[in-house]
Structure 1
Amino acid sequence: MFDALAERVQSAIEKIARKGRIDKETLEKGLREIKLALLEADVNYKIVSDFIKDVREKALGAEVVKGVNPAQQLVKIVYDELVEALGGEAAKLDLKGKPAVILLIGLQGSGKTTTAAKLGAYLKKQGKKVLLTSADVYRPAAMLQLKKLGDKIGVPVFLMEEEKDAVKIAEKALEKAKSEGYDVLIIDTAGRLHIDEELLDEARRIRERVNPNETLFVIDSMTGQESVNIAKAFNDAVGMTGIILTKMDSDARGGVALSVKGVTGKPIKFAGTGEKIEDFEPFHPDRVASRILGMGDIVSLVEKAQEVIDEKKALSLQEKILSGEFTLEDFREQLRMIRKLGPLHQILSMIPGLGSQKMLKQLQQVIDEKKLKRIEAIIDSMTPEERRNHAIINASRKRRIARGSGTTVKEVDELLRQFAQAKMAMKQMRKMQKKLAKKGGRFPFPFF
């Protein structure tokens, strides 16, 4: 997330930290680098100017806190200003009434239709009865796409494919949502490749007729300042209550996220963090700021783990590890749990102490995500008996497993050797646990 920006900001702060103290000259050099990093990330110029001015004033005026070095104080000041630029506190959805109506607006290609489905799936998980509808009468594929996505997530979609009046579709969808007791109605609207009066007028008329709780502007985080200007134009002409950022997992520079609240006055409420339906989460300015500064985001990691990992399976694996009964079958299950959390570099960036760009680059050289997939392929090529008892795997079995997994005998050998070493380490941990138990202590062993 915003890797280039994070690397530049972290580098500037590291240079100041090496000085041991913050004087005016050192601070100005560091702030110049941070300013360039923000401008290169396509952050609005006025927001950059205000950001640097506020950091300078607070850094020079800060009292030295006992036990805290100047660099740590600077990190805290920069962190606070980043949180403010990103919107301050996390903004919640207004879901009052039945149904609560959410209207999605924005340009074509920003990901509105996929976002409608992601938001629907998110609210369904919260226990809401959700209805989706498409008021895009210009692009028939949009209705079909929403229907397919709705079927995939188990959320009903109301369509009027022959109707050419978008306002009428929105009204009929609202009638259905009211009569059938839906908690939330999400309306996906048409987009254009650019702003035009017809598009804005249609969005205005839909908003007037359905009186939505939320009018959310969907914005592609890769598109930079132009998207921020478009968001402002929509807000001025139609009005909106918040922003949804898409493609936050991409090589987005961060300019949209750091500019849009300051320019429009409206908060970012959600962010799309990948292509999968579940890659969608509430936007937390403090967590994003923490990751930009390489401080990790353990809260998001724990929340993600709670969502995708079966707690009973995790506890069962832990018991097997501690009892010494851990098999290659269990190891494969553990790998699958970890991979459910998302791309490995994203997981690592959330762990405090590993979130700096320098550390992440070093770890990525050691931990290869492709290698994890190859390990899983090797285990998949084994028979159930081989997975449960790896000691029976002889030379001929290794050759068969290598052929079946598209790997080499050397790689199969390496996996078996490392697994045997891991089993030995687990036995040692078990002994330590027993010794601690006798003394009334406990060995804290996580499930991964």
Structure 2
Amino acid sequence: MFENLSERLERSFKILKGQGTITEINVAETLKDIRRALLDADVNFKTAKTFTETVKDEALGQNVLTAVKPQQMMVKIVHDELTKLMGGSSTDINLDGKPAVILIAGLQGSGKTTFTGKLANLLKSKRSKNPLLVAGDVYRPAAINQLQVLGEQIGVPVYTEEGSKDPVKIAKDAIKQAKQNGNDLVIVDTAGRLAVDEEMMKEITAIKNAVKPHEILFVVDSMTGQDAVNTAKEFNNRLDFDGVVLTKLDGDTRGGAALSIRSVVNKPIKFVGTGEKMDALDVFHPNRMADRILGMGDIVSLVERAQEQFDAEEAQKLQKKIAKNQFSFNDFLSQIQQIKKMGSLKDLAGMIPGMGKAIKDMDFDDDAFKEVEAIIYSMTPDERENPAILNGSRRKRIASGSGSSIQEVNRLIKQFEDTRKVMKMMSKGKNLSKMMANLPMGGR
């Protein structure tokens, strides 16, 4: 997401490269290019016009210090204005009720049901909530079953009423059951339509009036661009929702919805979906998104994801094993599992400053570890702990058992040994550049 916009903005800033000062002429040229970039990213026309006018006012009002180049100053101004455009800061959801009731709304196909499961999983794991999911979509045949499958995956109960076609009654009955069973959170999934219609609006309004939710979240598919913004506006006129959820941000989307929606409906973006897995849901941070748009990465989010998988005691044990050169294939396998839990590889790489442009055209396969895992799982427990015993006949058996070639097995073992050398030398504080030069691939 935002790859094309990031590239276009970078080109726009280059107009100021080598300029001694910010002037009305060079700013006008830069902003003309920025506005084109925003419009190409499907940003609302009025939003793009207002944004560039605000940036112009800020830029011409700046006294550029001699230590700061005009290009750098413009990047900072655009970053700050992008952050403001998307809301300024993250906005929490209201969980004050007993139980707290969250109503999920949106068009069919926007990812409402999947988000409902993700939100329950997030609030259960990070906020210690005891949620109950409510299957309120009584029209789409697979919706109830889909929510039940998701509920089973994350260990959260799902309330359904077989044969009932009254979503208002279902929602009210679910809240009664939540109170009886001690659930402190009720998340109501509702029906969507392929387009906004009066019947749909009446139904969702009736549910709102009946259950008086503490939070109404509007789920929108970010792939739909300005259509998403227009739909959000119509829903907000009827529901006065509390926040927006952008799904499919990991897809090939131009990003216009994320940049426009706040200014059009004046409601914060609260969550973003970044994949299909149940943990692929992030709180929306405008400043971090601005960082990513401008190619600065998002180290804070990367560190947060790593910390979620981080076990201090296990890390200490691992450090000792590395220092003693006892790092095994079991440890290697454990590290792979932790990386996989952090999210898609392309998303993780994009959080590293400067990597966004480098990986733009690269194809990241999230199943890339499968072959490695297959080879390791084909080893005996003794072989995993003691790689030194992996002779020719053992390697042949592992290749056969994992569906790999002997060359692939040999390559993995060689890479593992090289990694082990690097880790051991790093643990002893040796010079990394000299160490890398000594490895087979170093110095090329």
- Residue correspondence of structure 1 range 331-350 to structure 2 within 5 A: 331-350=332-351
- Residue correspondence of structure 1 range 101-140 to structure 2 within 5 A: 101-125=101-125, 126-140=127-141
Alpha-carbon offset, residue 130 of structure 1: 1.1
SS at structure 1 position matched to 2:17 = helix
SS at structure 2 position matched to 1:35 = helix
Name structure 1 gaps, 5 residues minimum.
Answer: 434-448
Task: Confirm whether residue 176 of structure 1 aligns to residue 177 of structure 2.
Answer: yes
Matched to 2:51, the amino acid is F
> Does structure 2 retain, via aligned residues, the 8 Å contact 1:243–1:269?
yes
> Does structure 1 retain, via aligned residues, the 8 Å contact 2:105–2:217?
yes
- Partners of 1:268 and 1:290 in 2: CA distance: 16
Task: Between 190-199 and 166-175, report the one with greater CA deviation.
Answer: 166-175
Decide whether aligned partners of structure 1 residues 350 and 323 sit closer, same or farther in structure 2, where only a CA change above 3 A counts.
same
- Partners of 1:102 and 1:62 in 2: CA distance: 44
- Residue correspondence of structure 1 range 36-115 to structure 2 within 5 A: 36-115=36-115
- Partners of 2:27 and 2:314 in 1: CA distance: 51
Aligned to 2:380: 383
Aligned to 1:437: none
SS at structure 2 position matched to 1:127 = coil
Alpha-carbon offset, residue 143 of structure 1: 1.6
1:230-259 CA-to-partner distances (Å, cap 9, x unmatched) read 110111122211111111111121111111
- Partners of 2:179 and 2:367 in 1: CA distance: 49
Calculate the TM-score normalised by the size of structure 2: 0.90
Aligned to 1:436: none
Alpha-carbon offset, residue 361 of structure 1: 4.4
> Does structure 2 retain, via aligned residues, the 8 Å contact 1:291–1:355?
no
Indicate the RMSD between aligned Cα atoms, in angstroms: 2.3
- Partners of 2:20 and 2:374 in 1: CA distance: 50
- Residue correspondence of structure 1 range 300-311 to structure 2 within 5 A: 300-311=301-312
Alpha-carbon offset, residue 431 of structure 1: 4.2
Decide whether aligned partners of structure 1 residues 14 and 313 sit closer, same or farther in structure 2, where only a CA change above 3 A counts.
farther
- Partners of 1:127 and 1:135 in 2: CA distance: 24
SS at structure 2 position matched to 1:216 = strand
Aligned to 1:360: 359
> Does structure 2 retain, via aligned residues, the 8 Å contact 1:137–1:163?
yes
Task: Between 284-293 and 409-418, report the one with greater CA deviation.
Answer: 409-418
SS at structure 2 position matched to 1:205 = helix
Alpha-carbon offset, residue 372 of structure 1: 4.3
Task: Between 394-403 and 184-193, report the one with greater CA deviation.
Answer: 394-403
> Does structure 1 retain, via aligned residues, the 8 Å contact 2:319–2:427?
no
- Partners of 1:423 and 1:104 in 2: CA distance: 49
> Does structure 2 retain, via aligned residues, the 8 Å contact 1:323–1:430?
no
Matched to 1:290, the amino acid is D
- Partners of 2:196 and 2:156 in 1: CA distance: 31
Task: Work out which of the residue numbers 393, 398, 402 in structure 1 matches 2:399.
Answer: 402
- Residue correspondence of structure 1 range 421-436 to structure 2 within 5 A: 421-432=418-429
- Partners of 1:334 and 1:20 in 2: CA distance: 49
Aligned to 1:203: 204
1:401-420 CA-to-partner distances (Å, cap 9, x unmatched) read 33333333333333333333
SS at structure 1 position matched to 2:64 = coil
- Partners of 1:216 and 1:368 in 2: CA distance: 32
> Does structure 2 retain, via aligned residues, the 8 Å contact 1:20–1:71?
no
Aligned to 1:297: 298
Task: Between 384-393 and 189-198, report the one with greater CA deviation.
Answer: 384-393
Task: Between 210-219 and 331-340, report the one with greater CA deviation.
Answer: 331-340
SS at structure 1 position matched to 2:42 = coil
- Partners of 2:171 and 2:150 in 1: CA distance: 19
Counting aligned pairs with the same residue, the percent is 49
> Does structure 2 retain, via aligned residues, the 8 Å contact 1:293–1:356?
no
Matched to 1:41, the amino acid is A
Aligned to 1:167: 168
SS at structure 2 position matched to 1:151 = helix
Alpha-carbon offset, residue 4 of structure 1: 1.9
> Does structure 2 retain, via aligned residues, the 8 Å contact 1:143–1:161?
no
- Partners of 1:100 and 1:396 in 2: CA distance: 61
- Partners of 1:432 and 1:114 in 2: CA distance: 46
Alpha-carbon offset, residue 377 of structure 1: 3.0
Alpha-carbon offset, residue 134 of structure 1: 1.9
1:341-364 CA-to-partner distances (Å, cap 9, x unmatched) read 12222112212x33441x3349x5
Task: Between 422-431 and 264-273, report the one with greater CA deviation.
Answer: 422-431
Decide whether aligned partners of structure 1 residues 373 and 14 sit closer, same or farther in structure 2, where only a CA change above 3 A counts.
farther
Decide whether aligned partners of structure 1 residues 180 and 60 sit closer, same or farther in structure 2, where only a CA change above 3 A counts.
same
Alpha-carbon offset, residue 101 of structure 1: 1.1
Aligned to 1:141: 142
SS at structure 2 position matched to 1:374 = helix
Aligned to 1:441: none
Aligned to 2:239: 238
Calculate the TM-score normalised by the size of structure 1: 0.89
Matched to 1:424, the amino acid is K
Alpha-carbon offset, residue 14 of structure 1: 4.0
- Partners of 2:132 and 2:270 in 1: CA distance: 20
- Partners of 2:39 and 2:383 in 1: CA distance: 57
Aligned to 2:289: 288
1:95-126 CA-to-partner distances (Å, cap 9, x unmatched) read 11211111111111111111111111111111
- Partners of 1:327 and 1:160 in 2: CA distance: 52
SS at structure 1 position matched to 2:4 = helix
SS at structure 2 position matched to 1:37 = helix
